[in-house]
Amino acid sequence: MKHNPKLLCGEEGFILVLAMFMLVLCSIIGVAAMITSTTEIDIAGNERVHKETIYQAEAGYVVAAEAIRNKEGYGTWENNEIMARLGANSTITIKDGNFLLEGREDYPAGSGVWNKDKQHDSVEQSADIEIRVKDRFNIDVDVDKIGVKYIAGGGVEFASGSEGMGVSMHKVIYNMDCLGTLPAWDPKQNRFSRLLRLDGGGINPSTPFSEIIVGYAFVPR
């Protein structure tokens, strides 16, 4: 019986197998790199949205503080009164005109503890202040009175900005609960394309938003 040495010892097929193996390996590395890049882009995008919504929420307490100072901590507005007009489709609206006169809500009752989830009205249910500024701000704010603290002693009065004769000797403590989302504007429908609230008044679960709670003390003069 004759044997063909080329069939027994040839290595032509090995090169093809090696080439296919390297091709598969390079494809796996390429797909992995693509997935990693896509994930990093998503992470960067989510981080940007998070920061932007945080900045939106932070801007809310600046407006709320101005609303408190405007009425010396005890005044009232009309419901849905425009606090400021900032151009076309840009307003700061006082939704609840009596929010500065609301009583303190403790939980448990009489404990002196403010609990966001136990408030009669919360920012999710009915905001006190609504800020809608085209291409800039999309914020809701709820202001809750925490308590009144009396100031005693000349040094304390001076440090609180309450120095002098005939001035107030107490400060009012508030919590400001602020929700902020991206202020994307839809020019075709002439409205915000990201709605912070649903038509029924609840928070829109499909809208990215951030929430911050800030304590604020106001000294009436």
Residue spans of beta strands (DSSP E) within the chain:
81-85, 90-94, 129-133, 137-150, 170-181, 185-186, 191-192, 209-218
Burial of residue 37 (number of CB atoms within 10 Å: 0-12, 13-18, 19+): exposed
181-215 confidence digits (pLDDT tens): 888 777 887 777 777 777 777 777 778 889 999 99
Structural domain includes residue 6: no
Structural domain includes residue 38: no
Count structural domains, the chain: 1
136-168 confidence digits (pLDDT tens): 889 999 999 988 887 765 555 455 554 444 455
Structural domain includes residue 8: no
Beta-strand relationship, 185-186 and 170-181: unpaired
36-91 confidence digits (pLDDT tens): 767 776 666 678 878 888 998 999 999 999 999 999 888 899 999 999 998 888 89
Distance CA 96, CA 127 (A): 8
pTM of the model: 0.72
Structural domain includes residue 28: no
10-31 confidence digits (pLDDT tens): 556 667 777 787 888 888 888 8
- Arithmetic mean of pLDDT, 81-103: 90
Structural domain includes residue 176: yes
Structural domain includes residue 18: no
Distance CA 182, CA 197 (A): 13
**Looking at residue 116, what DSSP letter applies?**
G
Structural domain includes residue 17: no
Domain assignment of residue 138, given as a range: 44-218
Structural domain includes residue 31: no
